């Protein structure tokens, strides 16, 4: 059965599951080149079908999700979505009615689905799908949190686990706790949208004049630069109540409550208090669920599950045996979640292997070579590319690394990465200010061999995190070796690569181990900040030209700075 998953909201995208196997998954932003694209994912759908070598007529089922009132209206009036996108991304000024519109928007998202909103969604989606030749496929609509949960459940590998969604809003809910067993997923508790932990943090992000739905990670990073508060007035604003969250006011009114507190605090202190409040509530909900069910394996998804400090605290709960975080935890991962929900139907449950997440487009060596020639760049084909790159990194160079199929999800995992030595804080600063143009307090992350992670991390527990989804504490004696990729609190967010993994990525880490004694690199996403991850070789060459990096490894070809073109 060929199932095409489609997500047509924030960070829209598509995913293709063929006979229970994930064949392709890609977000529209990588093709439209608009970060966190909100338009219908027409190009992502075409790319998925292309990767699966399918025609639109071969698709049996199109799986989509979220039919609440706000989503139905956005489908009916796409221009409203575009207007919000432009304000949110600071491409348009908010206008005189901004505060009112914001309140109305959040109020609307608190409404769950009803028969009319479902019918509108089905009609709008059906019409769009017919327009791109997918009218022959059956359209299945799923619940927002069910899709978040299904992605985490199917990819976790757990037989029996708690599946927890921690989110903003979708289909009238903001968080759920479900039990996964041999029969599938069974929901135990759900938090209404009005009591959303994600909206709480979204408002904090917005009040710090950062972009909500995008810069929450910056708020978390900034929080590291403030001391723990003696008294935290944000704690009562978001709390755990059993298996649910409770906020002091509905999401649409919480912004004003937060603003009344914010004025008295410096930004980093406010960020710290918000992070602490969110941490305490989220960890308490999960701890309670583990306690009540006696199930110590936890799979997480939803936008709040991108908070690596919360994920670490959950991992370290004594009653938790193991944690898996769905690597594309935010709404951008819903296309795959929906596809898996449809593929699992009738089977009870489904297990999938996401591999190294290289689920996007890739280019053959001849195709890369012709792109290089078309761009007029001088290049060479080193006999040992891995050794060549490692040797350059050791010399302090910054190397752009383009290898195989593009990653699915928010992290660069060795297909579209910017690389440097992990033990040079001055390289980190050069990357932040010159290459990536990021804020100074946003840390970089390492990719390292599993054997190294066991040696370097003090709080090793559970399965190794392959997808950069949670923080680990670096042992004091290892901090010098990872000084360029360490947070101010002594933790880092690693990609832990199996020592015996095939391919050039693990080989590069082994070569770094041989040359420097530490099998690790600084690995940051191959883009300029604010732009989507590069997908095609042309974009890689463009970023190389604009970034000031020393070299570009494009498949088997090496391009050096100053090398023509």
| The one among 110, 331, 423, 473 contacting Fe ion by CB under 5 A | 331
Shortest Å distance, C-beta 99 to Fe ion: 24
Rounded CA separation 429/431 (Å):
5
Query: Does residue number 167 form part of the binding site for Fe ion (CB under 5 A)?
Result: yes
Name the DSSP class of 56: G
Q: How many residues bind Fe ion (CB under 5 A)?
A: 3
Q: How far is CA 216 from CA 141, 208, 251, in A?
A: 29, 10, 16
Q: Measured from the CB of residue 276, what is the shortest distance to Fe ion in angstroms?
A: 23
Which string of DSSP letters, residue by residue, matches 166-217? EEEEETTEEEEEEEEETTEEEEEEEEEGGG-HHHHHHHHHHHTTS-TTTSHH
CB of 148 to Fe ion, least distance (A): 6
Residue closer to Fe ion by CB (options 168, 484) is 168
Distances (CA, A) of 287 to 282, 297, 324, 432: 9, 11, 15, 37
Q: Does 170 bind Fe ion (CB under 5 A)?
A: yes
- Give the span between the Cα atoms of 106 and 99, in whole angstroms: 11
Comparing CB distances to Fe ion, the nearer of 167 and 403 is 167
**CA 367 – CA 369 distance, rounded (Å):** 5
Tell whether residue 279 is a contact of Fe ion (CB under 5 A): no
Closest contact distance (angstroms) between CB of 109 and Fe ion is 11
Query: What is the smallest separation between the CB atom of 559 and Fe ion, expressed in angstroms?
Result: 39
Q: Which stretch, 64-72, 78-86, 323-331, 364-372, contacts Fe ion (CB under 5 A)?
A: 323-331
Smallest gap, in angstroms, from Cβ of residue 467 to Fe ion? Answer: 18
- Nearest residue to 175 via CA among 108, 259, 238, 81: 238
Cα 26 to Cα 14, 109, 166, 301, 498: the distances in Å are 6, 26, 23, 18, 24
In this structure, are residues 298 and 323 in contact, taking their beta carbons and an 8 Å threshold?
yes
Alpha-carbon distance 561 to 559, whole Å?
A: 7
Closest distance to Fe ion from the beta carbon of 303 (Å): 6
Q: Which is nearer to Fe ion, 173 or 449 (CB)?
A: 173
**Part of the chain binding Fe ion (CB under 5 A), chosen from 10-18, 166-174, 271-279, 499-507:** 166-174
* 356 is a contact residue toward Fe ion (CB under 5 A): no
Nearest to Fe ion of 224, 409 (CB atom): 409
Residue 215, Cβ neighbours under 10 Å: how many?
A: 19
If the CB atoms of residues 167 and 511 are measured against Fe ion, the closer one turns out to be 167
Nearer to Fe ion, 273 or 335 (CB): 335
Give the residue among 394, 451, 403 at the shortest CA–CA distance from 421: 394
Question: Based on CB atoms, which residue is closest to Fe ion, 254 or 448?
Answer: 254
Which range binds Fe ion by CB under 5 A, 169-177, 421-429, 480-488, 522-530?
169-177
What is the nearest approach in angstroms of Fe ion to the Cβ of residue 215?
17
- Structure-block tokens of residue 424: 């040079």
CA angle 136, 139, 145 (to 5 degrees): 160
Q: Is 422 in the site for Fe ion (CB under 5 A)?
A: no
Cα torsion through 244, 249, 251, 253, rounded to 10: 180
Nearer to Fe ion (CB atom), residue 170 or residue 519: 170
Comparing CB distances to Fe ion, the nearer of 121 and 523 is 121
Minimal CB distance residue for Fe ion: 167
Contacting range for Fe ion; rule: CB under 5 A; set: 61-69, 84-92, 327-335, 479-487: 327-335
Nearest residue (CB) to Fe ion, 151 versus 484: 151
Cα 196 to Cα 187: distance, rounded to the nearest angstrom: 18
Residues 449-508 that bind Fe ion (CB under 5 A): none
Give, as ranges, the residues between 208 and 247 that touch Fe ion (CB under 5 A).
none
**Residues interacting with Fe ion, by CB under 5 A?**
167, 170, 331
């Amino acid at each position: 059965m060929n199932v095409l998953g489609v997500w047509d909201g924030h960070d829209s995208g598509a995913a293709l599951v063929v006979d229970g196997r994930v064949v392709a998954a890609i977000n529209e932003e990588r093709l439209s080149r608009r970060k966190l694209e909100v338009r219908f994912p027409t190009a992502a759908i075409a790319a998925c079908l292309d990767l699966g070598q399918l025609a639109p007529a071969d698709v049996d089922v199109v799986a989509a999700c979220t039919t609440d009132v706000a989503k139905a209206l956005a489908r009916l009036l796409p221009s409203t979505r575009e207007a919000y996108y432009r304000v949110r991304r600071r491409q348009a000024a908010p206008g005189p009615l901004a505060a009112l519109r914001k309140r109305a928007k959040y109020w609307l998202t608190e409404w769950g689905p009803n028969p009319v909103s479902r019918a509108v969604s089905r009609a709008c989606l059906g019409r769009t799908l017919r327009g791109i030749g997918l009218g022959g496929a059956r359209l299945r609509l799923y619940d927002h949190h069910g899709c978040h949960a299904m992605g985490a459940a199917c990819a976790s590998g757990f037989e029996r686990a708690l599946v927890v969604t921690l989110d903003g809003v979708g289909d009238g809910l903001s968080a759920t706790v479900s039990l996964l067993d041999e029969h599938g997923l069974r929901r135990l508790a759900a938090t209404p949208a009005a009591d959303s932990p994600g909206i709480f943090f979204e408002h904090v992000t917005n009040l710090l004049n950062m972009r909500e739905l995008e810069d929450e990670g910056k708020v978390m990073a900034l929080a590291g630069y403030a001391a723990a508060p003696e008294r935290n007035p944000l704690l009562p604003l978001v709390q755990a109540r059993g298996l649910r969250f409770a906020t002091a006011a509905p999401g649409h009114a919480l912004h004003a409550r937060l603003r009344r507190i914010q004025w008295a605090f410096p930004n980093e202190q406010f960020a710290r208090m918000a992070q602490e409040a969110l941490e305490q509530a989220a960890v308490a909900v999960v701890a309670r669920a583990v306690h009540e069910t006696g199930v110590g394996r936890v799979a997480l998804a939803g936008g709040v599950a991108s908070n690596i400090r919360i994920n670490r605290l959950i991992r370290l709960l004594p009653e938790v045996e193991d944690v898996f975080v769905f690597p594309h935890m935010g709404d951008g991962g819903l296309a795959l979640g929906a596809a898996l929900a449809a593929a699992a139907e009738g089977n009870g449950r489904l297990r999938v292997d996401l591999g190294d997440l290289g689920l996007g487009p890739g280019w053959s060596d001849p195709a890369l070579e012709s792109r290089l020639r078309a761009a007029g760049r001088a290049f060479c084909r080193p006999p040992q590319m891995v050794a060549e790159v490692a040797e350059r990194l050791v010399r302090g160079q910054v190397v752009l690394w383009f290898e195989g199929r593009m990653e699915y999800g928010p992290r660069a995992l060795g297909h579209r990465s910017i690389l440097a030595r992990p033990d040079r804080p001055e390289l980190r600063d050069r990357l932040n200010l010159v290459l990536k143009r990021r804020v100074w307090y946003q840390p970089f992350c390492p990719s390292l061999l599993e054997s190294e992670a066991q040696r370097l991390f003090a709080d090793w527990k559970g399965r190794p995190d392959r997808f950069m989804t949670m923080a680990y504490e670096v042992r004091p004696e290892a901090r010098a070796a990872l000084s360029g990729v360490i947070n101010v609190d002594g933790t880092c967010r690693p990609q832990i690569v199996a020592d015996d993994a095939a391919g050039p990525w693990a080989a590069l880490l082994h070569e770094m181990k041989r040359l420097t004694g530490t099998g690790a690199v600084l690995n940051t996403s191959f883009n300029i900040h604010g732009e989507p991850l590069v997908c095609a070789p042309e974009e890689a060459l463009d970023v190389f030209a604009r970034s000031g990096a020393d070299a570009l490894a494009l498949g088997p070809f090496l391009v050096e700075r100053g090398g023509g073109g």
